[in-house]
A and B are shown apart, each in its own frame.
Chain A
Amino acid sequence: MTEHKHTEDGLPTTGHEWDGIREYDKPLPRWWLYLLFGTMIWAVGYCIVYPAIPLWDGASRGSFGWSSRSELAAELRAVDAGRADILAAIEATPIEQIPQNEKLMSFAVEGGRSAFKVYCAQCHGSGAAGGKGYPNLNDDDWLWGGDLTAIHQTIRHGIRFEADGDTHMSQMPAFGRDGLLDASQIRDVTAFVRVLSRQEKPSDSSRRGAAVFADNCVSCHGAAGEGMREVGAPNLTDAIWLYGGDTASIMETVTNARFGVMPAWGGRLEPVTVKQLAVYVHSLGGGE
């Protein structure tokens, strides 16, 4: 039994043989073994000091109660504490002066970017490109004003959000549904609006529509159809259409009227978050 496990000199081998080469079964060096024992002792100590042993109600607590959760909580508190100064500075600075301070500006843009993804992306899209009925915040067309103060005001108080007294309020009559205009008048005024925005050439219908426009629309949209920010009336001469600029969409708008609602965020979010959101939206490329 021991014969094949020894060389001719009587030295022990493992019994492995490969191409006539046999593997000695030599003992380990002492220091190596001590290292192994050392790691074993270390492991025992580790299990005592840190949570390591699974129990019915979670892992053992460890000798000084360390847990990754409490460590994370402490780190998050430290992050919050580190941000407190700059957030206070943003809060104290008038919004139109924030872009002049590069540090505040980049912090506000990044803070606004992350808040936008949480609170605004559902309607305006993660890239703020909007959609039908939801304005694209990247472009240079603003219903209620596009400078920092106006954007801040809009986000804080919302649009047609009745619970907020300072909200933007305006309403377009449902000219068709309420019987203010008949179907042919609506068709004519639609043709006129499409001429205004250079999507169509003037025609008999549009010439008739000009009169309808002058009687019903100029009070809000202006004589030239350039819109009016005080009431959020869109500019009808530019290339941007919130609900679409084709004939069917415009007729639908005139017939039933459209007015989107945006909640007031002033009551829901921290004032400094709202401010950062305004700075972020302004920085998207279309800010005035």
Chain B
Amino acid sequence: MSQSPAPAPEPRLFKGRAKVYPQSVHGTFRRLKWTILTVALAVYYLLPWLRWDRGPFAPKQFLLIDLAHRRFYLGPIEIWPQEFYYVAGLLVMAGIGLFLITSTVGRAWCGYACPQTVWTDLFMAVERVIEGDRNARMKLDRAPWGSEKIFKRLAVHLSWLIIAVATGGFFILYFADAPTLVKNLFTGDAPSVAYATVAVLTATTYVFGGLLREQVCTYMCPWPRIQSAMLDENSLIVTYKAWRGEPRTRGVKKAAQDGGKTGDCVDCNACVAVCPTGIDIRNGPQIGCITCALCIDACNDIMGKLGRPRGLIDYTTEKRDRQEAAGEALPPKWKSVVRPRTFVYTGVWALIGLAMLASLLTRERLDLSISRQRNPLYVQLSDGSVRNGYTLKLLNMEARPRTFTLTLEGLPGAVMWDSHATESMAAPALRITVGPDQTEARQIYVRAAPASLPEGTADIRFIARAEGGAVAMQETRFDGPER
């Protein structure tokens, strides 16, 4: 054996966690991240408190998912369960929106808007305020347990728990009237499912944001794998310009004196120290990178101090990086955003949105459903006439009571009555009042003379007219004896 292979590392059963101590950083992207964090949390907290007057019979919350009554309210829009396709449409739009965003500005969702990122960032900020920055935290970790360490650790975990209760837990405000629910939560009158949800979400927020952090992104989350697959050479991603930085040189002057080639990277490790997932961006694109761009801020800071051009680590595309390395003229950055692929995504996205909007604006807030009684198909009465039974469902989707007139077409002389009346009250039309936002189900009987049934059966049509003019109709059949 001329050359022995490298000794194989001893296989281990598990990989211990290398704790990440992200350093604080200042810069454009850090400011952007704070802004998005503030806006996201503000929206999350304040949205349930926004009121919207829908009249006396409907809830007054702007955004409400009313699971008990199976209604979804968003401002003037109210969605019933059978209109769930609007939610499906929104999900499709969210999917295409993700394609669009990812293909243009890379994994912006991961780096800025993902709840895991937002809460982890918040938790890290709390940790930094109480325990100090990176070095202080590393020192504290190594220090033996004493009163100071115990106090600081308690303070951190307690703060995390309070944030977790307040943010993770108050998710339930979207599912009930927020002021009432908060009051009930404190008086102990809220439903047990509310407390359970608060408990579960508090636990997950605390564990994911405080304890697991970057491990959620690298091990648990399928998203980075999906998003990475959506990138192409024109997507903006966080990139280390290796052609400019390599070879890394610490002692520049000495290296220059020695006549060696020097890159711009001074190997200060600032980009690694600030990274919330603990990766080294200089190793190239990798799954652990959530493209939060904090390394750009850190590196720009150093480059500025050294008097070198900024942007050694930069938001750029694979193609631009290649062109820049080759010294070619660079097209403006917006051109990598505006290109056929993004046009197609935007077009499809807008098309679905417009179709949903159009259907939302033209939909009828009234629905009629008739199902024929099939056992027995028909009943012959003693005077020779024929009776059929139907189950009628009238849906009044408006937040006020409405009275509907139900008539029948295709069966001359037919009369009907419902299970709230008797046959002696049979009439050619029925008036039915349906409560606000309610469904009225009734048994309807229709009686007709056999003379109006030359074929034994007749195709008929029920028509429900609201006072305001809204109309719903449904076709069905009237059966009689064969002849």
A contact set with B: CB distance below 8 Å: 2-3, 5-6, 9-12, 25-33, 125-129, 136, 138-141, 235, 238-240, 283, 285-286
Stretch binding the partner chain, chosen from B4-12, B104-112, B157-165, B182-190: B4-12
Q: Would you call A12 and B9 a contact (CB within 8 A)?
A: yes
Q: How far is the CA of A6 from the CA of B17 in the complex (A)?
A: 23
Residues of B within 8 A of A33 (CB): 13-14
Q: Which residue of B lies closest to A240 (CB)?
A: B382
Nearest first, the 5 closest Cβ-Cβ pairs linking A and B are A127-B375, A10-B6, A129-B376, A238-B382, A239-B384
B346-386 interface code vs A (CB 8 A; 1 in, 0 out): 00000000000000000000000000001110011111100
B53 at the interface (CB under 8 A from A): no
Could you write out 5 A-B pairs with CB less than 8 Å apart?
Answer: A2-B5, A6-B6, A127-B374, A239-B381, A285-B445
Q: Which residue of B lies closest to A142 (CB)?
A: B382
Q: Which residue of A lies closest to B422 (CB)?
A: A287
- Kindly identify which residue among A30, A125, A138, A139 contacts B17, using a CB–CB cutoff of 8 Å: A30
Q: How far is the CA of A286 from the CA of B6 in the complex (A)?
A: 94
Q: Which residue of B lies closest to A283 (CB)?
A: B419
Residues of B within 8 A of A136 (CB): 376, 379-380
Q: Would you call B6 and A9 a contact (CB within 8 A)?
A: yes
Q: Which residue of B lies closest to A33 (CB)?
A: B14
Q: Which residue of B lies closest to A11 (CB)?
A: B9
Interface of A is mostly: loop
Q: Which residue of A lies closest to B382 (CB)?
A: A238
B16 at the interface (CB under 8 A from A): yes
Q: Would you call A139 and B380 a contact (CB within 8 A)?
A: yes
B299-342 interface code vs A (CB 8 A; 1 in, 0 out): 00000000000000000000000000000000000000000000
A-B contacts besides A28-B15, A138-B379, A139-B381, 12 pairs, CB < 8 Å: A3-B5, A6-B5, A6-B8, A9-B6, A10-B8, A10-B9, A27-B15, A28-B14, A29-B215, A126-B375, A127-B375, A129-B375
Q: Which residue of A lies closest to B373 (CB)?
A: A127
B212 at the interface (CB under 8 A from A): yes
- Kindly identify which residue among A31, A125, A138 contacts B215, using a CB–CB cutoff of 8 Å: A31
Q: Would you call A139 and B219 a contact (CB within 8 A)?
A: no
Q: Would you call A129 and B379 a contact (CB within 8 A)?
A: yes
B1-41 interface code vs A (CB 8 A; 1 in, 0 out): 00001111101111111000000000000000000000000
- Kindly identify which residue among A25, A27, A140, A141 contacts B14, using a CB–CB cutoff of 8 Å: A27
Residues of B within 8 A of A240 (CB): 380-382
Residues of A within 8 A of B219 (CB): 29, 32
Q: Would you call A235 and B382 a contact (CB within 8 A)?
A: yes
Q: Would you call A26 and B15 a contact (CB within 8 A)?
A: yes
Q: How far is the CA of A235 from the CA of B389 in the complex (A)?
A: 25
Q: Would you call B376 and A127 a contact (CB within 8 A)?
A: yes
Q: How far is the CA of A138 from the CA of B414 in the complex (A)?
A: 18
B423 at the interface (CB under 8 A from A): yes
Residues of B within 8 A of A12 (CB): 8-9, 11
A20 nearest CB across to chain B (Å): 17
Instruction: Classify chain B's interface size.
Output: 20 to 34
Q: Would you call A138 and B382 a contact (CB within 8 A)?
A: no
B241 at the interface (CB under 8 A from A): no
Q: Which residue of B lies closest to A6 (CB)?
A: B8
Q: Would you call B11 and A25 a contact (CB within 8 A)?
A: yes
Q: Which residue of A lies closest to B219 (CB)?
A: A29
Q: How far is the CA of A3 from the CA of B7 in the complex (A)?
A: 10
Q: How far is the CA of A250 from the CA of B236 in the complex (A)?
A: 93
- Kindly identify which residue among A27, A29, A32, A138 contacts B11, using a CB–CB cutoff of 8 Å: A27
Residues of B within 8 A of A239 (CB): 380-384
- Kindly identify which residue among B16, B375, B423 contacts A30, using a CB–CB cutoff of 8 Å: B16
- Kindly identify which residue among B5, B13, B17, B423 contacts A31, using a CB–CB cutoff of 8 Å: B17
Residues of B within 8 A of A2 (CB): 5, 8
B424 nearest CB across to chain A (Å): 10
Q: How far is the CA of A5 from the CA of B6 in the complex (A)?
A: 12
Q: How far is the CA of A206 from the CA of B108 in the complex (A)?
A: 96
Q: Would you call A27 and B375 a contact (CB within 8 A)?
A: no
Residues of A within 8 A of B445 (CB): 285
Q: How far is the CA of A285 from the CA of B444 in the complex (A)?
A: 10
Q: How far is the CA of A25 from the CA of B381 in the complex (A)?
A: 81
Q: How far is the CA of A105 from the CA of B376 in the complex (A)?
A: 22
Q: Which residue of B lies closest to A241 (CB)?
A: B380
Q: How far is the CA of A238 from the CA of B215 in the complex (A)?
A: 83
> Given A10-B6, A31-B212, A239-B384 in contact, is the A139-B15 Cβ separation under 8 Å?
no
Q: Would you call B382 and A140 a contact (CB within 8 A)?
A: yes
Q: How far is the CA of A139 from the CA of B11 in the complex (A)?
A: 83
B376 nearest CB across to chain A (Å): 3
Residues of B within 8 A of A29 (CB): 14-15, 17, 215, 219
> Given A30-B16, A33-B13, A126-B375 in contact, is the A140-B381 Cβ separation under 8 Å?
yes
A48 nearest CB across to chain B (Å): 26
Q: Would you call A27 and B382 a contact (CB within 8 A)?
A: no
Q: Which residue of B lies closest to A28 (CB)?
A: B14
Q: Would you call A10 and B13 a contact (CB within 8 A)?
A: no
Q: How far is the CA of A5 from the CA of B387 in the complex (A)?
A: 81
A64 nearest CB across to chain B (Å): 23
- Kindly identify which residue among A31, A126, A141, A285 contacts B387, using a CB–CB cutoff of 8 Å: A285
A83 nearest CB across to chain B (Å): 23
Within residues 422 to 455 of chain B, which ones have a CB less than 8 A from any CB in chain A?
A: 423, 445
> Given A30-B15, A30-B16 in contact, is the A286-B212 Cβ separation under 8 Å?
no
Residues of B within 8 A of A10 (CB): 5-9
Q: How far is the CA of A183 from the CA of B132 in the complex (A)?
A: 117
Q: How far is the CA of A25 from the CA of B15 in the complex (A)?
A: 12
Q: How far is the CA of A126 from the CA of B215 in the complex (A)?
A: 62
Residues of B within 8 A of A286 (CB): 379, 381
Residues of A within 8 A of B374 (CB): 127
Q: Which residue of A lies closest to B443 (CB)?
A: A285
Q: How far is the CA of A126 from the CA of B375 in the complex (A)?
A: 7
Residues of B within 8 A of A26 (CB): 15
Residues of A within 8 A of B13 (CB): 27-28, 33
Q: How far is the CA of A38 from the CA of B218 in the complex (A)?
A: 22
A38 nearest CB across to chain B (Å): 14
A259 nearest CB across to chain B (Å): 21
